[in-house]
Structure 1
Amino acid sequence: MLVMAGNAFGQEGGTASPYSFFGIGTQQFRGTYENRAMGGMGVYSDSLHLNLLNPAQLGRLRFVTFTVGGSHTEVNLKDNVNENSNSISTIDYLALSFPVSKRAGVSFGLVPFTSVGYDLSDGEDETINTFSGRGGVNRVFLSAGYKVTKGLYIGASANYNFGNIQNETLRTIDGAELGTRERNRSDILGFTFELGAQYDVMLTDKLELRSSVKYVPATEVESENERQVSSVVFNNLGLLQDIDIIEVPVGDTNFDFPSSVTFGAGLGEPNKWFFGAEYTSQKNSTFTNRGFEIENARFEDATQFRLGGFYIPKYNSVSSYFERITYRAGFRYEESGIVIDNEDINEFGISFGVGLPAGRRLSNINFTFEFGQRGTTNSGLVQENFFNAGISLSLNDIWFIQSKFN
């Protein structure tokens, strides 16, 4: 666990998107790959899998569950003139949960919250401008859920957010001995909180209705900002070397993590199939950039739509392994709330995956694949086409059971 955590938060950003420049980076999907395979929908959970999207789901947890997930992403970026590709491999989450009674469960873990990672350049005549960024915000969370009464669950999460974001701009002119480099760094620290509830009811002997809600209140977070400007020259090894470094005073800023509310509902047959939908509204219009203003960009409220579900031929089959496999699929559409040159930066993804039973207990290995697109080539902007392949482990066991036989 310690080695995985070190790798996860030693990563130089989990994205290659130029849109990660804005705000505090590209928001990472917080849920497990079981959720992501269903379009990112979090309204469904069971007693085996850890649901990181709504803490109320912990009230139904019956087994100790350790989960870890990682992914590899291939991204193709293009504008009206150029085209390039990139790849990123990351560890996406690490969490442990366990029931503390028949009505309550607790979980804690580490997840990336946002990521910054881009490297762009443009040239006009003899001037070349290069823009790069890295870093992001990570999150340590502690969540608890409780079963209030039959079918009703509530929960809450406390998150400590920490990390730094570094942006760099380099300008060089052909024939000029010196170039100019500006570095900006923001160290971000602060707590955020989440509240969730879920209600389940059997409509018939086989048909179940599930509904959920999650609310994230706006929370003030501190950003400690630094700025450095210098002249640069290429040394004998062809590397950039700073000279005449100037520290530019930049005030620290406090900004709100936007509030959001998520509603979800779905129908299904327990341990057989489920289909549901979710809607999220996030108040990104209150968001401001960290220590500098951007003339051609603004923030608006963001929305997300998710559809998805799963199918299990026969979950308790003893004659066929393939009948116990879980098949998942989903679709999502997101309006990020970022508007650049009056162009909305939207994103969509189509996903599918399988959950493979592993071992003699209830553990499983999950594979997820997603195709998607972000941005547009209008107004000289960048369009991203991406393919994501993820794998996760959900390892289950029973703890705190008193032995009756020695």
Structure 2
Amino acid sequence: MIKKLVLVFIAFTALLTHAQEGTASPYSFYGIGSLKFKGTVENRSMGGISIYNDSIHMNLRNPASYVGPNLKILNNESRLVKFTVAGSHTSINLKADSGSDKTSSTTVDYLALNMPIGKFGLGLGIMPYTSVGYKLENVNDNNKISNRYRGEGGLNKVFVGLGYKITNKLSAGIDINYNFGNIQNSSIKFLYDGDGNLVQYQSREENRSDLSGLNINLGLTYRTMINEKLELQSGVTFTPESKVASNNSRTFASIIINEQTGQEIVVNTIDADLVAAGLEKTDLTLPSRFSFGAGIGEPRKWFLGAEYTFENTSAFSNPIITIDNTAFVNASSFSLGGFIVPNYDSFSSYWKRLTYRAGMRFENTGLEINNETINEFGISFGVGLPVGKWFSNANLGFEVGKRGTTNQNLIQENFVNFQLSLSLNDRWFEKRKYN
């Protein structure tokens, strides 16, 4: 199994590095792209809550979840090794006062592994952190293109974490994250003659930022039985503010555009002197983040919880790019969700052993454009399908929602997300017994 995991990890890393365009949102134009949900399909199907932990699923948002109690099925001697991988597809209907359009994107979401080490638990993996993918155009009074903007890339995260079981009820953990990637964007200014015909040469500006940096994520989990049936689970996470180094380049070019094919033919180029402007090497500020939540449920039967997240987005800065009429303010989100399992050990009905999930979330993204706050709302559903041995399962997720508004000439996104993950479990460590 280890060899298979290594091959999957290498393939996933190559795919993530060379195919980073995991969004089609116009709002990825701002900052360093659209923030990706840094949790599992199981979390996302419950409105995004990350406070629930069990013995067969990973929780990628709280490193304290890397540890847990030994299992009775393993003679209370060890825990399972967990492996998970996921991907998603998003369809977006774009709506504005001037018209509407449709777009879509498909992306890999994460690959991760969790191994028990006594009272410790080791977690490691890779996932996208932000994603950039937009194609935007402005038109003039004559209904002809005046500007065209394109962007791609994003920031990825490789993490290694360690959880520690302080008591049977309380655990703590830390993730160390290495963030890396690049963001590329271009803008073309279209020029016309007195008769409204496109002139021969257009001007294009291209920017590229290569990003890298470290940050950490701290977590606590607490779980206890309230009575013989009900269990309380709670969690807290904190990510301190950090810096990401950005190596930047900017090029100006005169181009000829084939009006039939859209092909851009470069006539000449000139590199901007970012050294003189003090912009060749800059630091981006990634804001701090704090979340807490709690919920109750009956183990292996049902759970209901809520979680609140605050992000100090007003501290975000990117010196290389400034955009008029745009500001970053503090972001927040509220999630509510849970699951139900009709009968987890039913022999007569496979459907009764399924896990049915649902939830909703409300989010202030922290982005303000033309004094309009960009909010997001989503309703999610999901199901966990048992497969194989050791309680491995496939998880399907579905979410519908909207982001943004049509006020102030902005764009409203009505989106539908489909997610699929595999949560695989195995026993690698077994005590030898002698008669």
Q: What range is the shorter-chain TM-score in?
A: over 0.9
Give per-residue Cα distances to partners, 1:18-74, cap 9 Å, x unaligned.
111111110000111011100110000101101001000111172111100011111
Counterpart for residue 19 of structure 1: 27
What does 1:345-384 correspond to in 2, within 5 Å? 345-384=374-413
Structure 1 position 94 matched with structure 2 position 117: no
Question: What letter corresponds to residue 172 of structure 2 in structure 1?
Answer: I
Shift of 1:316: 1.8
Q: TM-score, normalised by structure 1?
A: 0.97
Counterpart CA distance in 1 for 2:432 and 2:105 is 47
User: What TM-score does the superposition give when structure 2 sets the normalisation length?
Assistant: 0.90
Q: Which residue of 1 aligns with 2:219?
A: 196
Q: Is the 8 A contact 2:316 2:328 kept in 1?
A: yes
- Output one character per residue of 1:156-185: Cα deviation in whole Å (capped at 9) or x when no partner: 000000000011101222331100100111
Q: Matches of 1:246 and 1:379 in 2, distance apart?
A: 36
Aligned twin of 1:40 = 48
Q: C-alpha separation between the residues in 1 aligned to 2:298 and 2:238?
A: 27
Classify the secondary structure of the residue corresponding to 1:149: coil
The letter for the 1-side match of 2:53 is S
What SS does the corresponding residue of 1:298 show, helix, strand or coil? strand
Select between 232-241 and 265-274 the one with higher mean Cα deviation: 232-241
What is the CA-CA distance between 1:146 and the residue it aligns to? 1.1
Q: Deviations over 1:290-347 (max 9, x none)?
A: 4021111000000011100010111122232111110000101110111000000111
Q: Mean alpha-carbon deviation: is it higher for 131-140 or for 206-215?
A: 206-215
Paired residue type of 1:24: I
Question: How far 1:6 moved relative to its partner?
Answer: 1.9
Distance 1:52 1:238 in 2: 42
Find 2:338's aligned residue among 292, 309, 314: 309
Q: Give the Å deviation of 1:127.
A: 4.9
Distance 1:399 1:316 in 2: 24
Output the amino acid matched with 2:102: S
Matched residue of 1:205: which SS?
A: coil
Asked if the contact 2:137–2:145 (Cα under 8 Å) also holds between the matched residues in 1, the reply is no
**1:245-264, aligned counterparts within 5 Å?**
245-250=269-274, 251=279, 252-264=281-293
Q: SS of 2:166's equivalent? A: strand
Q: Is the 8 A contact 2:285 2:318 kept in 1?
A: no
Q: SS state of the match for residue 429, structure 2?
A: coil
Letter of the structure 1 residue corresponding to residue 263 of structure 2: L
SS in 1 for 2:67: helix
Q: CA deviation at 1:99?
A: 0.5
RMSD of Structure 2 on Structure 1 (CA): 1.6
The equivalent position to 2:162 in structure 1, one of 120, 130, 144, is 144
Where 1:30 maps in the other structure, the secondary structure is: coil
Percent of pairs identical after alignment?
A: 48
Aligned to 1:324: 353
Return the alpha-carbon distance in structure 2 between the equivalents of residues 257 and 237 of structure 1.
Answer: 40
Task: Give me the whole-angstrom Cα distance separating, in 2, the residues matched to 1:369 and 1:65.
Answer: 23
Q: What is the correspondence of 1:106-185 to structure 2 with a 5 Å cutoff?
A: 106-124=122-140, 125=142, 126-173=144-191, 174-185=197-208
**Distance across 2 between alignment mates of 1:111 and 1:29:** 10
Q: Is contact 1:8-1:92 (8 Å) kept?
A: no
Look up the match of 2:326.
Answer: 297
Letter in 2 for 1:201: T
SS of 1:271's partner is coil
Question: Are residue 244 (structure 1) and residue 268 (structure 2) matched?
Answer: yes
- Greater strand fraction, Structure 1 or Structure 2: 1
Rounded Cα–Cα distance in structure 1 between residues aligned with 2:92 and 2:261: 32
Please tell me whether the aligned partners of residues 397 and 420 of structure 2 are also in contact (alpha carbons under 8 angstroms): yes
Does the C-alpha gap of structure 1 residues 179 and 393 become closer, same or farther in structure 2, counting only changes over 3 Å? Answer: same
Between the aligned partners of 2:419 and 2:211, the Cα distance in structure 1 is 28
TM-aligned CA distance change 1:35 to 1:279, over 3 Å: same
Letter in 1 for 2:384: G
Is residue 43–residue 278 contact of structure 1 (8 Å, CA) maintained in 2? yes
Secondary structure of 2:14 counterpart: helix
The residue type equivalent to 2:380 in the other structure is: S
Distance 2:257 2:226 in 1: 72
Task: Give 1:194's aligned amino acid.
Answer: N
> Residues 296 and 363 from structure 1, CA distance in 2 versus in 1: closer, same or farther, beyond 3 angstroms?
same
How many angstroms apart in 1 are the aligned matches of 2:19 and 2:39? 19
CA deviation vs aligned residue, 1:127-171 (integer Å, no higher than 9, x gap): 531111000000000011111012001000000000000111012
Task: Report the residue type matching 1:18 in the other structure.
Answer: P
Instruction: Tell me what 2:15 maps to.
Output: 7
Most deviating of 191-200 and 5-14: 5-14
Structure 2 residue runs of 5 or longer lacking an equivalent are 1-7, 70-78, 192-196
Q: Which amino acid aligns with 2:273?
A: P
Displacement of 1:405 in angstroms is 7.7
Provide the C-alpha distance between the structure 2 equivalents of 1:216 and 1:60, rounded to a whole number of angstroms.
22
2:420 matched residue in structure 1? 391
Give yes or no for contact 2:47–2:361 (8 Å, CA) kept in 1.
Answer: yes
1:230 lines up with 2:253 in the alignment: yes
Query: d(CA) in 1 for partners of 2:20 and 2:423?
Result: 26
Name the count of aligned residue pairs: 405
